[in-house]
Amino acid sequence: MITKFSVQNFKGFQDNFTFDLTQSNYEFNQGAVRNGIVNKGLIYGFNGCGKSNLGLAIFDLVLHLTDKQTIIGKYPVYLNLDSNEKYASFSYSFVFDGVLVEYSYTKVDPQVLRTEELIINGEPVIGYDFEKETGFSNLDGTQNLRLNSPDSRLSKLKFIKNNAILAENETNLIFIKFMDFVERMLLFYSLDGNAYQGFTLGVESLDDVIVKEGKLKDFERLLKKADINMNLESQLINNQNVIFSKYKNGLIPFERSASRGTNSLELFYFWYIRMSKASFVFIDEFDAFYHYELSELIIRELLKLYDTQIILTTHNTDLLTNDLLRPDCYYIMNPKNIVSIANSTEKELRKAHNLQKMFKAGAFNE
C-alpha cells in the first residue's frame, strides 16, 4: 500500500507537496483503514486547487515503470512554470508485508528520467544517474547485468524486472511485489469518457466487457439500488455485445436511453467489476453526475473492496460523515498542502460529530 507521496516542481506543485496516508487512532469504521494506512479516502478542495494534478502526479510512475495505458495528453505542461528548477521530483513510500519500500526519482519531462533510487527496508538496492550513466543494483541476481545498456533512458527498475533472473530472497520478493503493485494501479475519470491510466492497455467497449463478464444482471441490480429501473438485455452486433434498455414497444441502446449520470455509472461499474484486482485506484470527480444518495451508494460498494486502496476526489459535502468513513480518511486540499480533517483541528473529533456542519462552518480551516 502507498503510505506517503511527495512531489515538487510538477505542474502546479512548485514547492514540496506531501500526501500522507498514515492514519490516526479511531475505533470506528475500521474497514476504511488497513494495517494503519488509509484504505479508502475522499479529497475535498476548491476548483483549481490541484486535485486532478495530484492524481496525475501519483500516477506519473506508471509512465516509465509499466507498459500500461497512459494519458500522456494530460502532461503537456510538465514542470512548474514559476520555478527555476530544471526537473520534477517524486517520492513514494509503500509498505508490503510490513517492509518499507521507498522509491524516488527526478524527471525533466514525462518520458525522460534524470535519476531514480529504490530503498527497501532502509537499504539502497537500486540507484542510477541517467546523465552520468552510472549506478548500481544490489539485488541478488543482477551482478552481471549492465545497467547502462541497451537503452540508457529506460528505467533501471523496469530493465531489471524484464531482464534479470532474481534469486529467491526477501528483498527480491519485496521488489517484485512493488513492481506488481505499480502494474495494477488505476487512475480514471468520470468526466472524460473512458480515459484512464495504468492497470490495462487499450480501449474496450463498456457494454461488451460487462456482458462478457456475466455481469449484466448485476449491473441492472446496481441501477435498481440507485432507483434507476431499467430492464436490460444484450445483443451481439458486429462481434461486440451491445446493451439495450427494454420497453414494451421495443429496445433502445442503453447509452442513448440513459442520462449522462447513468452513463457515468456504467463507466464506474465497468471498472468496479475489475477493481478487486487493482492495487491502488484514484477516481477524479467520481460523483460529478450523481445524486448525493447515489454517491453514498458508490462509496459503500467501494468499501467492500478491502484489498484495494482507493482515493476519490469530490465536492459533495453530504459524504462528509462518520457514518461512511472517519475523520482521518477525509482530506482537505489547497495548492500548498493536503491535510486530513483529523489533523486540521485541535478539537477531538468523535463519531457523533457532524463533520459536514463543522466543515461548512470553517472548523477545519487552517
In sequence order, which residues have a C-beta less than 8 Å from that of residue 290 and are 6 or more positions away? 261, 264, 265, 298, 316
> In this predicted structure, what is the pLDDT of residue 363?
85
34 bridge partner residues:
37
Could you count the other beta carbons within 10 Å of the beta carbon of residue 310? 21
Closest-CA residue to 80 (of 14, 6, 17): 14
- Among residues 243, 289, 298, 293, the alpha carbon closest in space to that of 269 is found at 298
Q: Which is it for strands 134-137 and 186-189: parallel, antiparallel or unpaired?
A: unpaired
Beta-strand relationship, 40-44 and 309-313: parallel
pTM summary value: 0.94
258, HSE (Cβ side, Cα atoms, 13 Å): 22
CA separation for the pair 277, 177 (Å, rounded): 14
Q: Give me the pLDDT at residue 290, please.
A: 82
User: What pLDDT score does 349 carry?
Assistant: 87
Number of other residues whose CB lies within 10 A of the CB of residue 105: 25
Q: Quick one: pLDDT at residue 293?
A: 87
Measured distance CA(2)–CA(55) in Å, rounded:
13
- What letter would DSSP give residue 240? E
How many Cβ atoms sit within 10 Å of the Cβ of residue 208?
18
Residue 329 neighbours by CB under 8 Å, 6+ apart: 23, 29, 32, 33, 38, 40, 41, 42, 340
Count CB neighbours of 201 within 10 A: 11
Half-sphere exposure of 353 (CA within 13 A, CB side): 19
As given in the structure block, the three cell numbers for residue 61 are: 510512475
- Strand pairing partners for 64? none
Residue 181 φ then ψ, to 5°: -60, -45
How would you write the pLDDT of the chain (366 residues) with one tens digit per residue? 999 999 999 999 999 999 999 988 888 888 899 999 999 999 999 988 899 999 999 999 999 999 999 999 999 999 999 999 999 999 999 999 999 999 999 999 999 999 999 999 999 999 999 999 999 999 999 998 888 866 667 999 999 999 999 999 999 999 999 999 999 999 998 766 678 999 999 989 999 999 999 999 999 999 999 999 999 999 999 999 999 999 999 999 999 998 888 988 999 999 999 999 999 999 998 887 788 888 999 999 999 999 999 999 999 999 999 999 999 999 999 999 999 999 988 888 888 899 999 989 888 875
* Structural element, H or E, at residue 104: strand 99-109
* Distance of alpha carbon 329 from alpha carbon 339, whole angstroms: 10
